[in-house]
Amino acid sequence: MTLQDGSEIKAALPYIISASRNCDLPSEPDKLLKLLSAPFVSKVNPFNRKFSYIAFDEVKLLVLWSKFPRVFLKNPSFFKALPYKTALLYTLNDYEKEGFEQVPDLYCRIELFKECVRLLGKGAVIWRYDPIILNEELTAKEHVKRFYHIAQKLSGYCDRVIFSFVDTRYSNAKKNAAYLKVIKTSNEEKLMLIKNLVEIGKNFGMTLQSCAQSSDFTVAGAESDGCIGKYLVKYYRLNSSLCRDRAQRKLCLCLESRDIGQEHGCKFNCAYCYAFKEIKWRECC
């Protein structure tokens, strides 16, 4: 690929692009729309500070990851004009009381979820109930209550839910483990919780799917798939020979994609996030 200064560089030509596992690009409309309006994007490797380039010539699917995709309020018609399809993985959980995130209130997030469904289609917007944090206040019973409340509100707007339990093995999340007050939970207790969530999902026409979990939750009635996995391949009629993404953790079943987000760029400051560095604001909580 030739740059404006005449120099030639090598660029990746991905089939699927993500925006973004590393930061919430859809919550920053101007930044995301600028990136997607260009023929390619450049990224800086945070470890060696070298640039890499990603071109959009071969893209067939854009996967958006967000807690509050303001981009659909800024320019709702933008994604319909793209030469490739758009899927949205919408993280929606209720940790308002605990203050684990700096996000808009739950009602606003639910209403925006519905608006995204109206724009993209129900099958294109997937609810991520992720991560599930268990502590003395956030018991399995409390999660059932909160999950039911959200599922009831999303009835008719959602048919797939992806879940995972919080992973504090990442260095940044481990630093915040004391704030999260996570308690050790047995595999049997987790299975029972998911079994209850699966039943609630069925009542509202939703299928539950695990994400990168060491436990087998299919015995509780949930499906096992990648967030960018068999479901999206079938829904969008994509190439079924796509390979697993080796750049992700070992338990991740996602198909290969290239992320156009820059690490540590999210403003939601989630206490459980593997990519978030700063934790000073939580000292006053």
User: Which residue would you say has higher pLDDT here, 6 or 215?
Assistant: 215
Contact 194, 208 (CB under 8 A): yes
pLDDT class of 115 with cuts at 50, 70, 90 = very high
Question: What is residue 207's predicted lDDT score, i.e. its pLDDT?
Answer: 98
- Tell me the C-alpha distance between 82 and 70, whole Å: 18
Query: Which helix (H) or strand (E) element contains residue 94?
Result: none
**pLDDT tens across 25-44, in order?**
999 999 999 999 998 998 88
Q: Which tens digit of pLDDT belongs to each residue from 10-19?
A: 889 999 999 9
Residue 104: alpha-carbon gap to chain centroid: 17
Residue pair 200/151 in contact (Cβ under 8 Å)? The answer is yes
pLDDT in tens, 192-220: 999 999 999 999 999 999 998 989 999 99
Q: Would residue 36 count as lying in a domain?
A: yes
- 280 confidence band (pLDDT: 50, 70, 90): very low
Provide the sign of the torsion angle of the four alpha carbons 172, 173, 174, 175, taken in this order: positive
The region of weakest confidence among 1-10, 147-156, 166-175 is 166-175
Task: Look up residue 9 and give its two tokens.
Answer: 């560089």
| DSSP assignment of 16-75 | EEEE-SSS-GGGSHHHHHHHHHSSEEEEE-TTT--EEEEE-TT--EEEEEESS-THHHH-
Q: Is 2 inside a domain boundary? A: no
156-166: per-residue pLDDT in tens?
Answer: 999 999 999 98
Residue 38, in any domain of the structure: yes
Average of pLDDT values for 71-77?
Answer: 94
Strand partners, 88: 64, 125
Q: What is the CATH number of the domain that holds 240?
A: 3.80.30
Residue 4 resides in a domain: no
- Asked, for residue 195, whether it belongs to a domain, the answer is yes
When comparing pLDDT for 173 and 159, which is higher? 159
In a domain, 222, yes or no: yes
Distance CA 161, CA 210 (A): 8
Residue 11 lies in a domain: no
Q: Quick check: is 207 in a domain? A: yes
Give the pLDDT of residue 281: 33
Q: Is the peptide bond before 20 cis (omega within 30 degrees of 0)?
A: yes
User: Could you give the 3-state DSSP secondary structure of residue 108?
Assistant: helix
- Distance separating alpha carbons of residues 255 and 231, to the nearest angstrom: 11
pLDDT value of position 250: 84
228 and 244 in contact (C-beta within 8 Å)? no
In sequence order, which residues have a C-beta less than 8 Å from that of residue 42 and are 6 or more positions away? 51, 52, 53, 54
The domain containing residue 185 runs over which residues?
A: 16-284
pLDDT at 224 exceeding the cut of 80: yes
Residue 129 three-state SS? strand
273 contacts 173 by C-beta, under 8 angstroms = yes
CB-CB neighbours of 30 under 10 Å: 11
Please report the DSSP string for 137-196 in residue order: SS-HHHHHHHHHHHHHHTTTT-SEEEEEE--TTSHHHHHTHHHHT-----HHHHHHHHHH
pLDDT greater than 80 at residue 277: no
Question: How many domains in the chain?
Answer: 1
